[in-house]
Chains A and B, each alone.
Chain A
Amino acid sequence: MAFLSFRAAKALLAVLALAGVPARANAQSLVTSEYAVKAAFLYNFARFVEWPEGAFLNPREPVTFCVMGQDPFGPELEATIDGKTVMGRQVVIRRPSQILELAACRILFVSASERPRFQQILASVGHRPVLTVGEDEGFARTGGIINFVVERSRVRFQINQGAAERAGLKISSRLLELGEVVGGAGKG
Chain B
Amino acid sequence: MRRLRDLSIRRQLTAIIMATSTAALLLACTAFVVHDIAYFRRLLVSDLSTLAKIIGSNSAAAILFDDSRRAEETLAALEAEKHVVWACIFDAEGRRLAGYVRGGGTIELPAAPPEPGHRFVGDDLRLAIPVVWDGETVGTVLLDSDLGELQERLARYAAIGALVLLTSSLVALALSSKLQRVISGPILQLVQTARIVSERKDFSVRAGRVRGEELGLLVDAFNEMLEQIQHREKSLVERTGEIERINRELARSNRELENFASVASHDLQEPLRKISAFGDRLVSHCADALDAKARDYLERMQSAAARMQTLIQDLLAYSRVTTRAQPFVPVPLADVAREVLSDLELRLEKTGARVELRELPAIEADPLQMRQLFQNLLSNALKFQRPEVPPEIRVEGRMNPPAAPGFCQIRVEDNGIGFEEKYLDRLFKPFQRLHSHTAYEGTGIGLAICEKIVQRHGGSITAKSALGQGACFLVTLPVRQSRGDVP
Contact = CB atoms under 8 A, between A and B. Distances in A.
Contacts of A41: 65-66
Nearest to A179: B65
Contacts of A123: none
B138 to A, nearest CB: 9
A175 B65 CA distance: 9
B187 to A, nearest CB: 82
B93 interface: yes
A10 interface: yes
Given A174-B60, A174-B61, A177-B61, A14 B94 contact: yes
Given A17-B111, A44-B65, A177 B94 contact: no
A14 B65 contact: no
Most chain B Cβ neighbours within 10 Å, of A13, A28, A40, A174: A174
A18 interface: yes
Interface residues of B, number: 16
Contacts of B70: 177-178
Contacts of A128: none
Nearest to B63: A44
Contact of B96 (A11, A17, A155): A17
B64 interface: yes
Contacts of A156: 67
A174 B134 CA distance: 14
A48 B61 contact: yes
Contacts of A24: 68
Interface in A155-188: 155-157, 172, 174-175, 177-178
B354 interface: no
B93 A10 contact: yes
Contacts, number: 41
Interface string A1-22: 0000000001101100110000
B94 A178 contact: no
B395 to A, nearest CB: 121
Contacts of B68: 24
Nearest to B65: A178
A155 B67 CA distance: 9
A117 interface: no
Which among A10, A23, A156, A177 has the highest number of chain B CB atoms within 10 Å? A177
A37 B65 CA distance: 9
Contacts of B134: 47
B62 A178 contact: yes
Contacts of A11: 93
B61 A18 contact: no
Given A47-B134, A172-B61, A177-B61, A17 B95 contact: yes
Interface in A18-39: 18, 23-24, 28, 37
Nearest to A84: B136
24 contacts: A11-B93, A13-B93, A13-B95, A14-B93, A14-B94, A14-B95, A17-B95, A17-B96, A18-B112, A23-B95, A24-B68, A28-B66, A40-B64, A41-B66, A44-B64, A44-B65, A154-B66, A155-B66, A156-B67, A157-B65, A177-B70, A178-B61, A178-B62, A178-B65
Top 4 nearest A-B pairs by Cβ distance? A174-B61, A44-B64, A17-B95, A178-B65
Given A14-B93, A174-B60, 14 more contacts: A10-B93, A11-B93, A13-B93, A13-B95, A14-B94, A17-B96, A24-B68, A41-B65, A44-B64, A44-B65, A47-B134, A154-B66, A174-B61, A178-B67
